[in-house]
Amino acid sequence: MAKYNITVNGKKHKVEADPDTPLLWVLRDNLGLYGTKYGCGIGECGTCTIHYNGNAMRSCSMTVADVGEAAITTIEGLSPDASHPLQQAWREHDVPQCGYCQAGQIMSAAALLATTPNPDDEEIDAAMYANICRCGTYNYIKAAIKTAAGKM
């Protein structure tokens, strides 16, 4: 076990974990932040998407040792009161079915809107291709992203 100081949602945390532990499991098992989901473990499904210095990354595919000084944001830290334009749009469109992939979807969409405030269909498709929704809520997700666009 090694000791790490990582910054998650603006707070410093001391964690003890083996260096090869994926950030995903540190968030969930060590810090009790369950919003970041396990889906595939190989960076193919997007349910574990978090922000690493503002960029959407798959937390299953980076280790706790990789985090260093980076600012990590999870769904729990996206907004203090669930008022991020995407969270509001998700509510307005009643997007989720099972809901399991939705935190990852929102985190990918938030990173997209941060750099591309008014994405077109192709930009949304490209940015969201990495996030699978097994229930097939893709059109709802797209509509919600368009609702939130420009409100950042």
Partner 1 sequence: MTTELQHNRRQFLKITATVGGGMMLGFSWLKPYGEAEGAGIITDFIELNGYLKIAPDATGKGSVITILSPNPEVGQNVKTSMPMIVAEELCANWKDVVVEQAPLNTAVFKRQVAGGSQSIRQTWATLRNAGATAKHLLVEAAAQQWGVPASECEASGSFVKHSPSDRRASFGSLAAAAAKLTPPAPEAVKLKDPSEFTLIGTSQGNVDMEAILTGKPVFGLDQKVPGMLYSTALRPPAFGQKLKSYDDKAARAVNGVKDVFKFGNDNKIAVVAISTWAAIKGKKALQAVWEDEGTLESTATQYEAMRQKLDEAAAQPKRNDGDVKAAFATADKVIERVFEAPYLPHNPMEPGNFFANVTADKVELSGPAQAPERFRKEVADLLKRDENTVSIGLTRMGGGFGRRLRGDFVLEAAEISSLAKAPVQHVYTREDDMTAGIYRPACMYKFRAAIKGGQLVGYHLTGAGLNAGNVVRENFFPVGAIEHCLMESHDMPSKVTTGPWRAPVTNFLASAEQSFFDEIAEALGKDPVQFRIELFERARTNPVGKFEYDAERSISVMKLASEKSNWGKAPVGIHQGFSAYFCHNSYVAEVAEVKMEGRKPVVKRVVCAVDCGIVINPVAAINQCEGGVIDGIGHAMYGDFTLEKGKPQQDNFDKFRLIRMGEQPAVEVHFVKSNIDPTGLGEPTLPPAGGAVANAFYKATGQRVYVQPFVKVMKNLG
Q: What is the binding site for partner 1 (CB under 8 A)?
A: 1, 17-18, 20-22, 25, 28-30, 32-42, 44-45, 47, 74-76, 82, 87, 90-91, 94-103, 106, 121-122, 124-126, 128-129, 131-142
- The two most distant CA atoms of the chain are separated, in Å, by 46
- φ, ψ (nearest 5 deg) of residue 10: 80, 0
Minimum separation from the CB atom of position 46 to partner 1 (A): 9
Tell me which amino acid residue 51 is: H
Q: How far is the CB of 3 from partner 1 (least distance, A)?
A: 14
Q: Which stretch of DSSP H or E encloses residue 55? A: strand 55-58
Closer of 39 and 111 to partner 1 (Cβ):
39
CB of 109 to partner 1, least distance (A): 10
Q: How far apart are CA 67 and CA 69, in angstroms?
A: 6
